[in-house]
Structure formats: C-alpha cells, structure tokens
Amino acid sequence: MQIRDDDLLLVIDVQTDFCPGGALAVADGDAVVPIINRLTERFSHVALTQDWHPSGHSSFATSHPGSAPFQTIRMPYGEQTLWPDHCIQGAPGAAFHPQLVTERAELVIRKGFRPEIDSYSAFYENDRRTPTGLAGYLRERGLRRIFLAGLATDYCVYYSALDARRLGFDTVLIEAGCRAIDLAGSLDAAWAGMATAGVQRVNDLS
C-alpha cells in the first residue's frame, strides 16, 4: 500500500502496563513494538496516545468497593468495564514501552485524565461527546487517512477506528501491529463493528 503525505500513523497506548508484566497486560502486547518501529520509518506523520489516569480513577475496580476487575457497571455516560489500576500518571506503568521509538511522533494525546470518565478512543472520552482535540489537529494539518496500530485491538484501537470513520477519515487498521484483550467475545465484536463502519483491515504494510 502506498503511503501518502496526508497519511498519519496513529499508535495507540503502547505502554508498559499493557505489555507482559504490566498491571493490565495484553497477551503478546510487546510483540507490536518492533512492528510499529518499522512502520514509523515509513510515515511522515506519527502520533501517539497515552493512557494517563489519576490515582483513584472511576474506571478502576478499586474505586468501587465490592467490585472486581473486568466487571461492568453503569456510569452516568453508560456501561463501563472496571479495570485493575493501570497507567497512573507519572508511574512507570504509564510510560511508553522502553523499546518503542517515539522520537518521530509529532503529537502525544493523553487520555483518561478526567477522574470521572474513562477514555478508550483517541478522539473522544467514553461519553462519546468530549473531544480530545485530535480531529481538529488532523484537519488543520490536512491529514486525511489514518493507519492504526497498538493496544488493544478490541478496546482503544477499536473505539479510535470507529470514531475516525465517524469523523470522516479514511481508516486502515494494521493487524500485525495490534494485539487484543478478547474479553468475553470482545475481539469478534470489534472486528464486526469495524467492518460495518468501513474500516479497512490489512495484515501489514509491505
């Protein structure tokens, strides 16, 4: 696939806590790092997202006595999966994977920093209304097509892909550069949702 000057590689949450040994580890999550590093060399424009939670965030199971990680509760903005404490601001687990090449990133979007609301998508908080500002940045820069890689396929990558399509961007998911949590069928649901939204799916860029 030919990479154009109006393309962006959007790297989602390749952070220590989402890799093996982390607080919310995605199986084989660190395998995406060399693939993303190789992809980064091909793009003129690269942006990163970084999960960035304050201590006691409302999405943490520990903030809801009697609840356990991976349970679902009702929040004012809708259904919310409860997670182990992870990606706490300034903690080692919130850092990008130490082998991830970040020098060529022109933008880092931090998300999930509002204590009362979680954020999966690179574009919106989980209320689906509060923007991160990424869409405006892309439009002002004239970037029209987004290539997605990172963690996890069925959560933050998925929601970012759906929002990219909802906002009118051509969207391509690079499967080799992603890994999934696959919680109770979430991966199959994500693939179906992305197909319906018109997200193009490729294994890799040759």
Let me know if 156 is a catalytic residue.
yes
The total of other beta-carbon atoms located within 10 Å of residue 87's CB is 25
* Angle (nearest 5°) at CA 155 between 60 and 189: 125
Catalytic residue among 19, 85, 111, 118: 111
Let me know if 13 is a catalytic residue.
yes
The total of other beta-carbon atoms located within 10 Å of residue 147's CB is 25
SS3 128: coil
Give the closest residue to 30 by CA, choosing from 119, 106, 96: 96
The CA distance from 106 to 75, in Å, is: 34
CA-derived radius of gyration, the chain? 16
Let me know if 182 is a catalytic residue.
no
Catalytic residue among 30, 156, 163, 178: 156
Catalytic residue among 13, 30, 118, 154: 13
List, by residue number, the catalytic residues.
Answer: 13, 111, 156
